Amino acid sequence: HTALRIEPEYDGPVIYISDASRGPGVVGELMEPSRKNEFVQRTRSEYAALREKRAAKTSAIKLMSPEEAFERRLRIDWNDYRPTPPRQPGITLFENYPLDEIIPYIDWTPFFNVWKLPGRYPDILSSKKYGDDARKLMNDSEELLQLMQETDSVNARAVIGLFPAGSTGEDIELYTDDSRSELLAIFHMLRRQQPLRDGGTVSLADFVAPKESGIADYMGVFMASAGFGADDLIARFDDDHDDYRAILVKALADRLAEAFTELLHEKVRRELWGYAQDEKLTNEDLIREKYTGIRPAPGYPSCPDHTEKRTLLDILEAEKKIGIRVTENYALAPPATVCGYYFAHPRSHYFPLGKIDERQLKLYAERKKMPMEEARRWLASNLIDG
């Protein structure tokens, strides 16, 4: 990313380091006149070589036209599938959700990886090399989670919407009710233009019944956060010059948000939507995503355009109802906030969009009524010439 995107846009030295501990060595090279020029030129040559290598690889990619890609779309036999109507359609609000219900859903493995303690939980706790540090970190985390619960200093909130839906090409239309006479919103999806192994292509729109089929299908959307109050708790530790616990709060808030999302998805499948009401999965099963359906989010490889978050925010009224905001660059606030879609069809799955070309970009911008340059900005990493 540094070589491809950042370095060509800046006249001064741009240096990537894999770890903050390597910063002083790089700064030392830049501060020493006798070594600076050679170091900078060597780095620029390495980055130029990376760009040439990427350009050669990209030029070898063959893309179908958007029309051919749509013709080769994932074919689902909708006559052989009966969508389950949500038990609780429309908006469902969750405020001050109990942390003690969320904590059991935490996937601790990524948490330890963030702290540079590689290995799977709980095996990491008995590791000969990392066990002592892992157990101390776990104890500190449990103490901090207990503090959050006892003082109600960190708050979890969410809003979920389950609506009638139908696909039209690469778009998914949501409707206000089962009469399907009033359009609520349109989510704009993108289609993979590189053929899969079977020669076909896929878009998230393929997982919702076509509007023209007359089949009454549904789709869900959500926004959830476990970050309310986290900034105040972080500030409290910062005031005490306790950097360790300030960082720990951030890491735990992120884990709580992901755990909250997992819990809510289970609640949707079994209760609110009810399309998998008899599901019985362990926490390990949930971590391995052994359930029916998916919950991708704007920014995922299958739907990389972050601007779709605005539509999510608006139809859920998430800012008004629970205080979640979308920044001008489409980051979610407060931190430790997650959003996304719910797809229920058994054949729905995650996939990488891969590269697209100017032809699909143009069609996408037209559908979104977005200027081409703005669409190009948000999809730059996916463009074949990007």
pLDDT 10s digits, 130-173? 999 999 999 999 999 999 999 999 999 999 999 999 999 999 99
The pLDDT tens digits for 311-365 are: 999 999 999 999 999 999 999 999 999 999 999 999 999 999 999 999 999 999 9
The reply to whether the predicted model has a pTM over 0.85 is yes
| pLDDT tens profile 44-97 | 888 988 888 877 776 667 899 999 999 999 999 999 999 999 999 999 999 999
pLDDT at residue 133, rounded to an integer:
94
Between 50 and 208, the higher pLDDT residue: 208
- Best-predicted range by mean pLDDT (4-13, 22-31, 112-121, 310-319): 310-319
Give the residue with greater pLDDT, 138 vs 29: 138
* Mean pLDDT of all residues belonging to the chain: 93
Give the pLDDT score at 60.
66
Would you say residue 179 has pLDDT above 70?
yes
| Percent with pLDDT over 90 in the chain | 78
Per-residue pLDDT of 209-246, as tens digits, reads 999 999 999 999 999 999 999 999 999 999 999 999 99
Residue 214 is predicted with a pLDDT of 92
pLDDT computed for residue 1 by the predictor: 85
How confident is the model at residue 385, as a pLDDT?
A: 67
pLDDT for residue 384: 87
d(CA 313, CA 230): 21
